[in-house]
Amino acid sequence: MGLPTLEFSDSYLDSPDFRERLQCHEIELERTNKFIKELIKDGSLLIGALRNLSMAVQKFSQSLQDFQFECIGDAETDDEISIAQSLKEFARLLIAVEEERRRLIQNANDVLIAPLEKFRKEQIGAAK
């Protein structure tokens, strides 16, 4: 169901029917405004959680890179060398993933959150 149309010429008559249609539009504007506010709030919370996750993964990655085996004797075994190289490679992959996540987070803010906030303030706020 759509909203009833508002005709400019009906505003001169200021009839009860026009006021009722106008009220329907005002209610819908308020509902849309609240929905967009919630969407912005939830999106911002998600972006914050993603940033925290990214920081935790980066810290974990750094720990993997810094890991050193304490070897018995003068040299590391082939297994120890292989494990250390695998940990460093995994850390490198995690860093690459987190770099892409950082870009995703920034894009989500620039492409979704900021335009929604601008629309809510400029378009819906102006119509209220």
Q: What confidence tens digit (pLDDT) does each residue in 10-54 have?
A: 767 777 888 888 888 889 999 999 999 999 999 999 999 999 999
Cα 92 to chain centroid, rounded: 25
CA distance 113 to 119: 10
**So what's the pLDDT on residue 17?**
83
SS3 82: helix
Residue 103 lies in a domain: yes
* Lowest mean pLDDT, pick from 29-33, 74-78, 95-99, 101-105: 74-78
**61, 24 Cβ separation under 8 angstroms:** no
Long-range contacts made by residues 23-30, C-beta under 8 angstroms, separation at least 24?
26/128, 28/3, 29/124, 29/127, 29/128, 30/128
Confidence of residue 100 (pLDDT cuts 50, 70, 90): very high
CA distance 111 to 107: 6
Residue 4 lies in a domain: no
Please state the pTM of the whole predicted model.
0.73
Domain assignment of residue 73, given as a range: 13-127
Residue 7 lies in a domain: no
**So what's the pLDDT on residue 105?**
92
Residue 3 lies in a domain: no
Domains contained in the chain, number? 1
**14, 91 Cβ separation under 8 angstroms:** no
φ, ψ for residue 14, nearest 5 deg = 50, 45
**So what's the pLDDT on residue 72?**
67
- Residue 2: other Cβ atoms inside 10 A: 5
